[in-house]
């Protein structure tokens, strides 16, 4: 929700990033304020997932230019774990499996690590068990998922629910959801979306990276951005997503090039 | 007082030196045992210690062993239950304890379980004597396996467990070998005979009271008749200075099921040879974990031999290698001509934690039948960067993330141990080694 007295959570300016020496992000700008939901859409290979990983600090991506301020701190000076503790959360498109480690152990370890860094109380296994079971209700997850190994043998939908469960536990200021809708059937999608909606409040913000408009029927964005060739080429509201669904992405690129050409012609004249 | 003496004689004479006190063994009441021993001594006259020139030992240099001389020990240092009870497992109501290779009745507990008999040689009745003659020394190869033969030469007071026909599974039997002294050689021996339709769980556990050097040379033979089930858990947590060279031979009868999990944590140099002979329709799952650091060497050689049709075998062997340690895995799956419809999957995963850690792996399939389903593979690597990143993105430090993944790599095997208290002990050991608090 767009609020008048909101504060800026994330401010990205002129972001360039490369992977294996290939430039993927080519001057991306984005401002996210508290209470807002932003959708980042775009064709495959446009750079939207790269953007999500750069925000979380994936070492395979090198930031070559630009800045990203997160609540007044330079995000790029922080390690991935420092970003997580400061309140950046990335829900992975492909969450990893950790056979041999119970989900409850993993969730408590991350919860307590982050709480300790924030100067809060850690929870012992019994306290944590009550706490996490309450959060799991939000995602309609069976308590059985606590005893199973982290993500091992989980279906696609179960993995995504487990991601949002982690977001619920870590209570980030900025949640970045990378293709959280991919591989979900409509029931799972509505449960995951419901969970996300319950977590959004006027003090935090969500960035949804998605290829399809479908998710946005459930999590209604305040802004829809189209990424192409490593930068945002169009910003609109939720209506833009519907238009993209019917017309595809090509026209946005054409419009953007025409506008650039017009500007260049004006400049020349 | 140390019994270790440095020697500079060639390894050829080494066996002779090890055998010096062999002739002082008391005569066994079972003629078969005496015959077996003297046959072993005869074979040893023709056998030499393996060197790196032997194919089966090319990665495992045991010359450090031959620089030290070990002797069997007697009398045994007397231990109190309080000294060793932290090794006891609450699930096991029958516990056989051997101290430096010598049976310690005062630490052992025998519970009368119907159908399960622990046989002591001097008091073996005629029926059990017959079983012993039928199986002892019959499953392990003596002719060209110098260490199995050396053990047999010292065959004296083995742990023998028989499980009568159709005995349902009961509490696990814990055979605990405790090393207490420096410089001693011990030759533990186990025989398990699971008769038709029976089911049992054996925990073979090697522990040390202190970090001393000693030589331990166990042999275990397990015979499963038709439709039997044996769950075999083997834990080698010997002293970091120990030499542990072990052989285990298993004969899995028709439609029988053998499950084993072996965990190797200790010893300076350890070698485990596991041979599983599969009859028609037999099933086995043979899993292993070696977790080693510093300059330890841990070598597992396994052979699953499908000699008859419709056998099913599964093997997952993992090595976590830190420091300058060296892990060896040689896993042979043999599918003989006529062993049609064999279904076999073998995989070996290795995690190298440092630049100096080293692994040699050789998964092998030898197939002489034409209608089989077999797969095998091995991976060697460091921790996956995507996995580390995932954990760091949840706030865990680089170090904790790596340790957690290392723990998880091993925990997948430990998870397969069906004894909760032992599983917990081993999980704690791995957690300590990886400095993780869960």
Q: What residue has token string 């046989």?
A: B119
Q: Which residue of A has its CA nearest to B415?
A: A100
pLDDT at B340: 96
Please name the residue ranges forming H helices in B116-165. Answer: 126-135, 146-153
Q: Of the residues B244, B279, B314, which one is the last residue of a structural domain?
A: B279
Burial environment of residue A72 by CB neighbours within 10 A (0 to 12, 13 to 18, 19 or more): exposed
Residue B9 lies in a domain: yes
Q: Does B412 touch chain A (CB under 8 A)?
A: yes
Cα–Cα separations (whole angstroms), residue B248 to A7, B10, B141, B189, B231: 69, 28, 10, 10, 14
Model confidence at B9, in pLDDT bands (50, 70, 90)?
A: very low
Cα R_g (chain B), whole angstroms: 21
Mean of the per-residue pLDDT values for chain A?
94
Range of lowest pLDDT (B12-16, B176-180, B282-286): B12-16
- A4 has pLDDT over 90: no
- B3 has pLDDT over 50: no
The distance of B418 to chain A (nearest Cα, Å) reads 14
- B8 has pLDDT over 50: no
Helix and strand counts by DSSP (H, E) for chain B: 9, 23
The distance of A21 to chain B (nearest Cα, Å) reads 18
Q: Of the residues B279, B310, B345, which one is the last residue of a structural domain?
A: B279
- B391 has pLDDT over 50: yes
Condensed to tens digits (0 to 9), the pLDDT of residues A156-214 reads 999 999 999 999 999 999 999 999 998 889 999 999 999 999 999 999 999 999 988 89
- B243 has pLDDT over 50: yes
Condensed to tens digits (0 to 9), the pLDDT of residues A221-232 reads 999 999 999 999
What is the helix (H) or strand (E) element at residue B190, kind and residue range?
Answer: strand B189-194
Condensed to tens digits (0 to 9), the pLDDT of residues A16-61 reads 999 999 999 999 999 999 999 999 999 989 999 999 999 999 999 9
- Chain A residues close to B437, C-beta within 8 Å: 109
- B1 has pLDDT over 60: no
Cα R_g (chain A), whole angstroms: 19
Cα–Cα separations (whole angstroms), residue B30 to A91, B96, B124, B161, B346: 69, 21, 9, 16, 41
Residue B23 lies in a domain: yes
pLDDT at B94: 94
Q: Does A142 touch chain B (CB under 8 A)?
A: no
The fraction of chain A above a pLDDT of 70, given in percent, is 99
Residue B297 lies in a domain: no
Chain A stretch 96-125, residues whose beta carbon is closer than 8 A to a beta carbon of chain B:
96, 98-101, 105-106, 108-110, 113-114, 117
Do A95 and B396 count as a contact with CB atoms less than 8 A apart? no
The distance of B350 to chain A (nearest Cα, Å) reads 15
Q: Which domain holds residue B414?
A: 386-438
Q: Does B398 touch chain A (CB under 8 A)?
A: yes
Name the residue among B390, B404, B411 with its Cβ closest to that of A95: B390
Residue B310 lies in a domain: no
Q: Does B423 touch chain A (CB under 8 A)?
A: no
pLDDT at B7: 44
- Chain A residues close to B438, C-beta within 8 Å: 101, 105, 108-109
Number of domains in chain B: 2
ipTM score above 0.85: yes
Nearest to B133 by CA among B204, B29, B231: B29
The pair of three-digit structure tokens given for residue B14, joined into one six-digit string: 């080494």
Mean of the per-residue pLDDT values for chain B?
91
Q: Of the residues B251, B279, B307, which one is the last residue of a structural domain?
A: B279
The pair of three-digit structure tokens given for residue B300, joined into one six-digit string: 């597992």
Give the relative orientation of helices A156-170 and A103-117 as an angle to the nearest 10 degrees: 30
The pair of three-digit structure tokens given for residue B68, joined into one six-digit string: 């030290």
**Residue B24 sits in the same domain as residue B144:** yes
Residue B329 lies in a domain: no
Domain ranges of chain A: 8-93+172-268
Condensed to tens digits (0 to 9), the pLDDT of residues B294-350 reads 999 999 999 999 999 999 999 999 999 999 999 999 999 999 999 999 999 999 999
Residue B360 lies in a domain: no
> Which CATH number applies to A8-93+172-268: 3.40.50.720, 3.40.50.300, 3.30.499.10, 3.30.200.20?
3.40.50.300
DSSP B71: B
Give the relative orientation of helices A186-199 and A156-170 as an angle to the nearest 10 degrees: 0
d(CA B320, CA B306): 29
Q: What is the mean pLDDT of residues B208-234?
A: 96
Do B392 and A84 count as a contact with CB atoms less than 8 A apart? yes
């Amino acid at each position: 929700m767009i609020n008048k007295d909101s504060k800026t959570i994330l401010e990205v300016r002129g972001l360039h990033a490369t992977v294996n020496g290939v430039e993927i992000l080519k001057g991306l700008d984005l401002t996210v304020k508290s209470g807002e939901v932003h959708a980042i859409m775009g064709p495959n290979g446009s750079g939207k997932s790269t953007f999500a990983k750069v925000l979380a600090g994936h070492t395979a991506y090198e930031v070559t230019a630009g800045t990203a301020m997160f609540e007044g701190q330079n995000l790029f000076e922080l390690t991935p774990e420092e970003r997580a503790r400061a309140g950046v959360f990335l829900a992975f498109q492909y969450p990893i499996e950790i056979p041999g480690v119970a989900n409850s152990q993993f969730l408590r370890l991350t919860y307590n690590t982050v709480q300790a860094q924030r100067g809060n109380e850690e929870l012992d296994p019994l306290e944590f068990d009550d706490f996490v079971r309450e959060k799991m209700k939000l995602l309609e997850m069976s308590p059985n998922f606590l005893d199973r190994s982290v993500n091992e043998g989980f279906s696609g939908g179960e993995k995504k629910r487990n991601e949002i469960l982690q977001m619920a536990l870590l209570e980030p200021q900025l949640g970045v959801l990378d293709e959280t809708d991919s591989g979900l059937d409509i029931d799972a999608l509505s449960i995951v979306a419901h969970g996300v909606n319950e977590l959004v409040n006027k003090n935090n913000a969500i960035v949804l990276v998605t290829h399809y408009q479908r998710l946005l029927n459930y999590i209604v964005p305040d802004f829809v951005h189209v990424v192409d060739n490593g930068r945002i080429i169009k910003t609109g509201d939720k209506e833009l997503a519907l238009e993209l669904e019917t017309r595809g992405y090509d026209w946005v690129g054409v419009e953007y090039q025409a506008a650039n050409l017009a500007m260049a012609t004006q400049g020349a004249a | 007082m140390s019994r270790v003496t440095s020697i500079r004689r060639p390894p050829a004479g080494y066996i002779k030196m090890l055998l010096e006190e062999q002739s002082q063994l008391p005569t066994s009441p079972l003629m078969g045992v005496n015959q077996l021993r003297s046959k072993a001594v005869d074979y040893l006259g023709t056998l030499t210690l393996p060197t790196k020139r032997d194919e089966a030992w090319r990665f495992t240099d045991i010359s450090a062993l031959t620089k030290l001389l070990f002797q069997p020990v007697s009398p045994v240092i007397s231990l109190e239950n309080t000294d060793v009870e932290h090794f006891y497992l609450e699930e096991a109501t029958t516990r056989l304890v051997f101290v430096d290779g010598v049976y310690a009745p005062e630490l052992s507990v025998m519970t009368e379980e119907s159908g399960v008999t622990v046989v002591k040689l001097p008091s073996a009745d005629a029926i059990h004597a017959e079983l012993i003659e039928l199986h002892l020394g019959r499953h392990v190869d003596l002719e060209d396996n110098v260490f199995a033969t050396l053990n047999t030469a010292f065959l004296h007071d083995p742990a023998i467990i028989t499980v009568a026909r159709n005995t349902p599974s009961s509490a696990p039997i814990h055979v605990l070998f405790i090393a207490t002294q420096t410089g001693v050689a011990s030759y533990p021996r186990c025989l398990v005979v699971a008769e038709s339709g029976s089911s049992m769980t054996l925990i073979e556990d090697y522990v040390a009271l202190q970090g001393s050097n000693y030589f331990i040379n166990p042999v275990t033979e397990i015979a499963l008749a038709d439709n039997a089930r044996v769950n075999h858990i083997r834990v080698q947590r010997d002293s970091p200075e120990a030499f542990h060279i072990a052989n285990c031979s298993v004969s899995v009868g028709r439609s029988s099921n053998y499950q084993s999990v072996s965990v190797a944590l200790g010893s300076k140099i350890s070698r485990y040879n596991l041979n599983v002979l599969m009859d028609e329709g037999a099933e086995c799952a043979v899993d292993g974990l070696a977790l080693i650091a510093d300059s330890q060497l841990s070598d597992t050689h396994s052979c699953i031999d499908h000699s008859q049709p419709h056998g099913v075998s599964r093997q997952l062997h993992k090595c976590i290698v830190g420091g300058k340690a060296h892990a060896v895995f040689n896993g042979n799956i043999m599918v003989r001509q006529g062993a049609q419809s064999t279904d076999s999957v073998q995989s070996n995963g290795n995690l190298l934690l440092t630049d100096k850690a080293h692994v040699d792996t050789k998964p092998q399939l030898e197939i002489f039948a034409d209608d089989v389903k077999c797969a095998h593979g091995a991976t060697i690597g460091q921790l996956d960067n995507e996995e580390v990143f995932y954990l760091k993105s949840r706030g865990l430090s680089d170090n904790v993330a790596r340790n957690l993944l290392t723990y998880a790599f091993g925990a997948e095997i430990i998870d397969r141990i069906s004894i909760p208290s032992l599983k917990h002990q081993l999980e704690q050991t791995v957690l300590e080694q990886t400095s993780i608090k869960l």
